[in-house]
Chains A and B, each alone.
Chain A
């Protein structure tokens, strides 16, 4: 073996232990019945084949959590992309104070998700929260039930996420904008190209790889969302904001202690995330 290759062994060994180990173990357990809440359930593990997976396919709550997660991810991604793009373009176009605005725009990024969640739990409280109080002071007739209304809760959570993470997209897209050679822009100015043409033929091609990266990374994190619904709504009202990772947590550790079933859910959800991301990347590749 070459010396250099050996350099990778310590890291690869640790990764095999802490990453691949649990992964394989979890896949194994997903084919077993292992219910800790039953009497002596911890010591009672039985191989049950694909029973857990069959139950999962028939579980309306799992389907519900997947739908919630996708809806949340889609809304949040759309808002974050529009806001992020707009902020990046604006930041790139001003001369003075860009650093100041940049700092302001990325400030929410510096908070942890649990702090954001607790903050908005207080802000969005329909009767005590400052947001409704402010809106009512400027003339809104009745308070908005941000996270208590089943039809509003997912958009509300998505907006919270957008508030928190738009700066993420701004920064990445801005980096793309700044990678455009100034000479290209100068040339197009001399040629008298319209703003739209400039965007279509210069800005867009240069920023496209950055945008794609940003979208893929955001989508991964959005689909894995846990803290916001866990801490703000607990999945409610009803199950209107129960996202998949929260659902898996309740099935596994939170409440039911169903190790086999929850591992089957986790493995399936991991597959779903991977397939979605792979599909998007494949589409983009085909385009190129």
Chain B
């Protein structure tokens, strides 16, 4: 009998040995592991990776994940003692904030000045600021690679068909009337008047733009956005915040059937396939999709505008993607070499035509003929009224989840005053739960 146990033990050991030997890698070549979110930038950089290896001798092991699983996987990987990647895409969001709080990501301040040719100053400082957790005085934890400002898109051909001159529409209210008109004209042809994100985990980031558009010049704390004052009192019943939420819910109700569940992916697909007449408060970057004949049937018919102003204000927010390095990466220097290469001026001029959102001032100038005059002027006007929109505090995720619940409920016809009242109470509970006060 002892023999049988011995046999099984040996078998087990040999199984493990096979795996162990399979996992050991040749240490003589320098390799970095790069994790990217499926993104136009990733599509643009992938064919260029061989150049990096040729220049530096560092091999790149690339993993690309769809956004549905990307963020969960980043958090999983960062929290591990041996992160499974050395460079990854990061945004100024909760994942980044949690990683900062736990010391999972490396500060890059010492690296950015090493090479004068890199010209870090060329990168818009306010995009960099998003990666200074928790506020603009912090260290730099990510190097921006694209930025996107939230703007609006409309179908020039459809508006022309209805005899509407977009230039004459001055305010958000004017546009709301147009939506009604478009709805009557096209809804039975399978074209919805508008499309906007619904049940999308990142929707609260864009919603900030809608609220900012009402907020005006009143002060607020950037990391808490408009929703909490300096004493952590909740402000969800503030008329400007309610108005921003109402705008969103109203536009959402003009969306195609099922659009309450739309993520940016569904919205972009709908707009690019000609199923929507307008697309609200979303990323400038999607222009790259709309102007790509492979993915879009509306090439050349898209009008670009910064968000239309309201009576009380005119503002939007922006977002960025950057590259970051895990604190526990064993090859930080090689990882930095990759980051420096990937965010260099030379590479950005090659990726920008696909991202429509370079982060270097010099590239914007250079790209104007590529992006077209209309997009460029709309995007730069949007950037000029853009304020940073982040929520960096414990419990922000829960607040965001409740915000989504509230907007969806309002778009389904729930009374906005009552819904916002409930949301305000829920936010107070979250403040208490996390001892924020």
Contact = CB atoms under 8 A, between A and B. Distances in A.
Nearest to B261: A148
A9 B101 CA distance: 46
A256 B68 CA distance: 16
Interface in A98-140: 125-128
Interface string A126-166: 11100000000000001111111110000000000000000
B4 A236 contact: no
A237 B198 contact: yes
A143 B191 CA distance: 12
B82 to A, nearest CB: 14
Interface string A229-261: 001011011110000000000000111110000
B13 interface: no
Contact of B257 (A41, A142, A256): A142
Contacts of A149: 258
Contacts of B234: none
Contact of A42 (B79, B198, B199): B79
Interface string B211-246: 000000000000000000000000000000000000
Given A238-B199, A239-B405, A3 B257 contact: no
B412 interface: yes
A95 interface: no
Contacts of B408: 236-238
B260 A237 contact: yes
Contacts of A145: 257-258
B18 interface: no
B299 interface: no
B83 to A, nearest CB: 13
Contacts of B261: 147-148, 233, 236-237
B106 interface: no
Interface string A1-31: 0010011011000000000000000000000
Interface string B63-91: 00000100010011001000000000000
A40 B405 contact: no
A9 B394 CA distance: 48
Contact of B273 (A10, A128, A253): A128
A74 interface: no
Nearest to A124: B258
Contacts of B60: none
Interface in B245-263: 256-261
B172 interface: no
A40 B256 contact: no
Contacts, number: 92
Interface in B405-420: 405, 408-409, 412
B5 interface: yes
A225 B76 CA distance: 23
Interface string A28-54: 000000001111111000000000000
B13 to A, nearest CB: 13
Contacts of B405: 238-239
A254 B394 contact: no
A277 to B, nearest CB: 30
Contacts of A7: 4
Q: At the interface, is chain A mostly helix, strand, loop or mixed?
A: loop
Contacts of B409: 238
B31 interface: no
Interface string B120-147: 0000000000000000000000000000
* Range, interface on chain B: 35 or more
B283 interface: no
Contacts of A231: 68
B1 interface: yes
A10 B256 contact: no
Contacts of A148: 198, 257-261
Contacts of B4: 6-7
B102 A150 contact: no
Contacts of A125: 258, 266
B79 A257 contact: yes
Contacts of B404: 238
Contacts of A41: 102
Most chain A Cβ neighbours within 10 Å, of B76, B79, B201, B261 = B261
Contacts of B394: 37-38
A282 B62 CA distance: 54
B33 interface: no
Contacts of A144: 257
A287 to B, nearest CB: 43
A3 B102 contact: no
B102 A256 contact: no
B5 A257 contact: no
B79 A36 contact: yes
Contacts of B201: 234
Contact of B103 (A40, A142, A143, A238): A40
B199 A236 contact: yes
A195 to B, nearest CB: 45
A150 B397 contact: no
A233 B273 CA distance: 22
A63 B385 CA distance: 43
B253 to A, nearest CB: 13
Contact of B269 (A39, A128, A142): A128
Nearest to A6: B1
A10 B8 contact: yes
Contact of B275 (A127, A236, A237, A257): A127
A255 B8 CA distance: 41
30 contacts: A6-B4, A9-B5, A36-B79, A36-B102, A38-B101, A39-B101, A39-B102, A41-B102, A42-B79, A126-B257, A126-B258, A127-B256, A127-B258, A127-B270, A128-B273, A128-B275, A143-B257, A145-B258, A147-B261, A148-B260, A150-B412, A236-B198, A236-B408, A237-B261, A237-B408, A238-B409, A253-B72, A255-B72, A255-B397, A256-B398
Given A238-B199, A257-B75, 12 more contacts: A10-B8, A39-B101, A42-B102, A127-B256, A143-B258, A145-B258, A148-B257, A148-B261, A237-B260, A237-B261, A253-B72, A257-B79
Interface of B: 1, 4-5, 8, 68, 72, 75-76, 79, 98, 101-103, 190, 192, 198-199, 201, 256-261, 266, 269-270, 273, 275, 394, 397-398, 404-405, 408-409, 412
